[in-house]
Structure 1
Amino acid sequence: MVKEDSEVYHTWRNNEQVMMSTSLVMDHYSIEETRDFVTEVILNSSSSKSYIIEEKADGKPIGVTSLIHMDYKNRHAECVIDIGDTSYWGQGYATEALKLLLSYAFSELNMHRISLRVFSFNDKAIKLYNKLGFRHEGTSRESLFRQSRWFDIIHMGMLQEEYKATDWGSKNLVF
């Protein structure tokens, strides 16, 4: 991700449909707040790496995936993915992007463990994470308030050895 991605990231960050299933906070941000967030939190962080997901045919930015809270000593990170352009939902971009991110995390960065959090109502994401090999590690009960209801936050994780045991984890993916 580069500073110039701030404009498109801003549209995703203010899309309620996208933020409903990915963000703990449902706020609207000014373009200045988004530029500051991209510069200070994303680009200048020593404990995270973020990558723009592009549409295959023309390279149009459609989402972002990140490794955050990277702990090199304990070889752990948390992964995050947002397909910000909702017209690309359900087309396999999240699957492909996460496979590349996990390959990078486990093969290049030599991480031992990758974790994630997912909202209990996000059935499609939970299905994807299970398909990729993530395992349920715990639940923060009723930790998210959406549309006048309480929802759980599900914690999932994958170890390097589990990644290598997947049918795609032993292949060399291109970065």
Structure 2
Amino acid sequence: MLQRLETERFVLRPLGRVEAYRIGRSNWNHDQEIMRNLIHSAKPLDPWRWLKKMVWVNGKTKFSYAIVPRDGGEPIGIHGMTLQKHRSATLVVAIHDRAYWGKQVVAEIRRAIIDHAFEHGVIDRLCCTVNARNIASVFNYKKLGFRHVGTLHQAHYDPVSKELFDTLIFELLKSDWQKQRMAHA
């Protein structure tokens, strides 16, 4: 299922377990905003806890891509996909290079990954969760055609602010994605 993908501005390069660990830990572990939203931790993790939390890649059910600008350089983030039961999958992304925040990176790379997953994969549904306070992610899901299908009220704890916050659940069906793509063709 993993192969190199390209968008207008980026190359999505498949990652192995070691490289995914290296990129994630070296770029995210000291970024409090990413740690709070992705890991739900107020402080950096030691290497073993990081390995336990963040090893996404196994080549069978968990896949990760490095997001690399077409003009070269270091990865600006990672996008992962985990296959679930019943022909479903979940997505997760973290852009650690702040120069790319607000530049439609997530929508652009997700289109390529969703196209690839629905066309070549064994999935018919994407189901993703996002912290309700992560407004940029909520807008990205809506822009891509995901439907809000539920809310887990006060489901997570912010270790910095000590507040409980909601988690939103979004879903996209293969048939809806295909209709949307045909309408824009």
| TM-score in terms of structure 1 length | 0.83
Go from structure 1 to structure 2 and tell me whether the alpha carbon gap of 1:143 and 1:33 turns closer, same or farther (over 3 Å shift): closer
Q: Which residue of 2 aligns with 1:134?
A: 146
2:34 equivalent to 1:22 = no
Look up the SS of the partner of 1:124 in the other structure: helix
Look up the SS of the partner of 2:156 in the other structure: strand
Look up the SS of the partner of 1:9 in the other structure: helix
Tell me the CA shift for residue 158 of structure 1: 0.2
2:175 equivalent to 1:161 = yes
Tell me the CA shift for residue 54 of structure 1: 1.0
Tell me the CA shift for residue 25 of structure 1: 4.0
Tell me the CA shift for residue 100 of structure 1: 1.2
Go from structure 1 to structure 2 and tell me whether the alpha carbon gap of 1:54 and 1:169 turns closer, same or farther (over 3 Å shift): farther
Tell me the CA shift for residue 31 of structure 1: 4.0
Amino acid at match of 1:87: A
In structure 2, what is the Cα distance between the partners aligned to 1:151 and 1:91?
A: 26
Q: Unaligned 5+ residue runs, structure 1?
A: none
Q: Unaligned 5+ residue runs, structure 2?
A: 1-14
Tell me: higher relative CO, structure 1 or 2? Use CA pairs within 8 A at least 6 residues apart: 2
Q: Which residue of 1 aligns with 2:162?
A: 148
User: 2:35, 2:44 within 8 Å by CA — same for their partners in 1?
Assistant: no
Amino acid at match of 2:139: K
| TM-score in terms of structure 2 length | 0.79
In structure 1, what is the Cα distance between the partners aligned to 2:122 and 2:83?
A: 15
Q: Which residue of 2 aligns with 1:77?
A: 89
Q: Which residue of 1 aligns with 2:103?
A: 91
In structure 2, what is the Cα distance between the partners aligned to 1:20 and 1:37?
A: 13
Look up the SS of the partner of 2:99 in the other structure: helix
In structure 1, what is the Cα distance between the partners aligned to 2:110 and 2:183?
A: 11
In structure 2, what is the Cα distance between the partners aligned to 1:51 and 1:170?
A: 26
Go from structure 1 to structure 2 and tell me whether the alpha carbon gap of 1:47 and 1:4 turns closer, same or farther (over 3 Å shift): closer
In structure 2, what is the Cα distance between the partners aligned to 1:145 and 1:37?
A: 17
Q: How many residues are treated as equivalent by the alignment?
A: 167
- Out of 71, 74, 77, the position equivalent to 1:63 is 77
Go from structure 1 to structure 2 and tell me whether the alpha carbon gap of 1:13 and 1:169 turns closer, same or farther (over 3 Å shift): farther
Go from structure 1 to structure 2 and tell me whether the alpha carbon gap of 1:139 and 1:129 turns closer, same or farther (over 3 Å shift): same
Q: Which residue of 2 aligns with 1:113?
A: 125
Look up the SS of the partner of 2:56 in the other structure: helix
Q: Which residue of 2 aligns with 1:9?
A: 24
